[in-house]
C-alpha cells in the first residue's frame, strides 16, 4: 500500500523532497479483522486541495486563534499519511448499510492506495449513483460533483445572492473554484470579470468560459483594470486570494455589495507575522458591505447539496458548464501535483488517478 507521509513541516512553500516521503506499508486486506463500522477502501481518484497546506503546519499554540478546533484536530504529524478526499470503491466492510463494490466519495481518506477507515466513516461517505456514470466521467465526482463544486455553488447562491445584471469580480478565476463561480454567475445573468496569473488563463476565461472581461493581474494594475472592466462598481466580490488584492477590490465595491470569502491563497504560505494587514476595512461599514466566509463542509449532507447535484448534473448534460481538469497518474506523483498548486501553473482542478476502475 503505497502512500505519502509528512517528512517535515513546511515553513514557506512546500517542497517535494524536503517535506513529503513516499512509503510502502503492507496491509493484509484478506486477513484483516474489521471492527464495527470499519472499511477498507480502494482509492480511485484523489483531489488536490490547497487547504491541505494548512494541515501541514506545526501547531503553534501562540497563534491558536487563527485556526478553529476542527482544523487543529486535522493537523498532520510527521510520519503520518497526508489527509485526502476523493472517489473510492468499498472492498471490505461489515457495515450493513454499505456493500462491497459500492462507490463513494469519501472525505476522510489519505494520500494512499488503500485506506483503512476506522471511525466516523459514514458521515464522511457520500454514495455515487452508478447510473450517472454513463453521462459523467467518474473523475468528475472526485473533482467537483460531490464536494468541490458545492463550495462555489452554495456560497455564490446563499452568500453572494446574485441578481441578474449585477457585476461580479472573481479572483484566481481560472482556478478550480473560480472557473465554476464564473460560469454559474453567467448562467444567472451577471456581468462576470475575472483575474488570473497568465495570458493562457486569461484566454481560457474569455474564449472558453465566456467571461465578459478578464485580465492578467501580473501584467496589469489591478486598480486600473477594475475601473475599466467594472465601470458600475462591483456588486459581488468572490474572494480566493486575500491580502493586497482584497484591499484594492474593496475600493471598487458598491453599497450593499457582498464579499464571499472562499479562501485567501496568497496568505497560506506566509508566517503569521508576515501576513498582509488590509488597511481599508472601514469601507465594509461605510458602504454596508456584507463579508462572509464559509467552509464547504457546512453544506454537505444538507438540502443544498441535493439542489447542487441536481442543477450541476443537468448543466453538465446540457453543456452549460465547460470543465477542465488535469489528471496526474499515480500516487507517487501526488506531492508534486500538490506543490504545483501554489505556483499558478494549473488551470482548473488537479486530481490524481490512483487506480483504474
List contacts with ligand NDP (CB under 6 A): 50-51, 151, 172, 174-178, 196-198, 201, 240-241, 262-266, 294-296, 341-342, 344, 346
- The answer to whether 147 touches 292, Cβ cutoff 8 Å, is no
Report the nearest approach of ligand NDP to the CB of residue 151 (Å). Answer: 4
Using the minimum distance from each CB to ligand NDP, give the nearer residue, 264 or 335. Answer: 264
Using the minimum distance from each CB to ligand NDP, give the nearer residue, 102 or 247. Answer: 247
- The answer to whether 108 touches 84, Cβ cutoff 8 Å, is no
Q: Which residues contact 125 (CB under 8 A, 6 or more apart)?
A: 98, 104, 105, 106, 107
Select from 205, 199, 216, 207 the least CA-distant residue to 181: 205
- Integer Cα distance of 77 and 49 in angstroms: 18
Beta-strand ranges (E) seen in 9-121 are 20-24, 39-47, 83-93, 103-110, 114-117
Using the minimum distance from each CB to ligand NDP, give the nearer residue, 113 or 212. Answer: 212
Using the minimum distance from each CB to ligand NDP, give the nearer residue, 40 or 262. Answer: 262
Report the nearest approach of ligand NDP to the CB of residue 216 (Å). Answer: 8
No. of helices (H) and no. of strands (E), the chain? 11, 15
Report the nearest approach of ligand NDP to the CB of residue 49 (Å). Answer: 6
The residue at minimum Cβ distance from ligand NDP is 263
Q: What are phi and psi of 238, to 5 degrees?
A: -95, 105
Using the minimum distance from each CB to ligand NDP, give the nearer residue, 5 or 159. Answer: 159
- Integer Cα distance of 119 and 106 in angstroms: 13
Report the nearest approach of ligand NDP to the CB of residue 50 (Å). Answer: 4
Using the minimum distance from each CB to ligand NDP, give the nearer residue, 244 or 255. Answer: 244
Q: Which residues contact 96 (CB under 8 A, 6 or more apart)?
A: none
Report the nearest approach of ligand NDP to the CB of residue 140 (Å). Answer: 15
Report the nearest approach of ligand NDP to the CB of residue 254 (Å). Answer: 23
Amino acid at each position: 500500500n503505497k502512500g505519502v507521509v509528512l517528512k517535515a513541516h513546511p515553513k514557506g512553500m512546500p517542497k517535494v523532497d524536503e517535506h513529503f516521503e513516499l512509503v510502502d506499508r503492507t496491509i493484509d486486506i484478506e486477513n484483516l479483522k474489521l471492527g464495527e463500522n470499519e472499511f477498507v477502501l480502494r482509492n480511485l481518484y484523489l483531489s488536490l486541495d490547497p487547504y491541505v497546506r494548512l494541515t501541514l503546519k506545526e501547531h503553534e499554540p501562540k497563534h491558536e486563534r487563527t485556526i478553529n478546533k476542527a482544523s487543529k484536530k486535522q493537523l498532520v504529524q510527521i510520519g503520518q499519511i497526508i489527509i485526502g478526499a476523493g472517489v473510492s470503491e468499498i472492498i471490505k466492510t461489515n457495515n450493513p448499510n454499505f456493500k462491497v463494490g459500492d462507490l463513494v466519495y469519501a472525505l476522510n481518506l489519505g494520500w494512499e492506495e488503500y485506506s483503512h477507515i476506522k471511525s466516523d466513516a459514514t458521515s464522511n461517505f457520500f454514495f455515487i449513483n452508478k447510473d450517472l456514470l454513463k453521462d459523467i466521467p467518474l473523475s468528475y465526482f472526485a473533482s467537483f460533483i460531490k464536494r468541490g463544486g458545492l463550495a462555489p455553488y452554495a456560497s455564490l447562491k446563499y452568500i453572494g445572492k446574485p441578481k441578474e445584471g449585477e457585476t461580479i469580480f472573481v479572483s484566481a478565476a481560472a482556478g478550480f473554484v473560480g472557473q465554476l463561480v464564473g460560469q454559474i454567475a453567467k448562467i444567472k445573468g451577471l456581468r462576470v470579470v475575472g483575474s488570473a496569473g497568465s495570458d493562457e488563463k486569461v484566454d481560457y476565461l474569455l474564449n472558453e468560459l465566456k467571461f465578459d472581461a478578464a485580465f492578467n493581474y501580473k501584467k496589469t494594475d489591478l486598480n486600473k483594470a477594475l475601473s475599466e472592466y467594472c465601470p458600475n462598481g462591483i456588486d459581488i466580490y468572490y474572494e480566493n486570494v486575500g491580502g493586497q488584492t482584497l484591499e484594492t477590490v474593496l475600493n471598487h465595491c458598491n453599497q450593499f455589495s457582498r464579499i464571499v470569502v472562499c479562501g485567501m491563497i496568497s496568505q497560506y504560505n506566509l508566517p503569521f507575522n508576515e501576513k498582509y494587514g488590509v488597511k481599508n476595512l472601514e469601507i465594509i461599514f461605510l458602504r454596508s458591505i456584507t463579508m462572509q466566509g464559509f467552509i464547504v463542509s457546512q453544506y454537505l449532507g444538507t438540502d443544498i447539496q441535493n439542489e447542487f447535484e441536481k442543477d450541476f448534473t443537468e448543466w453538465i448534460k446540457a453543456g452549460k458548464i465547460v470543465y477542465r481538469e488535469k489528471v496526474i497518474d499515480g500516487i507517487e506523483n501526488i506531492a508534486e501535483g500538490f506543490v504545483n498548486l501554489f505556483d499558478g501553473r494549473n488551470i482548473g482542478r488537479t486530481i490524481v488517478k490512483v487506480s483504474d476502475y
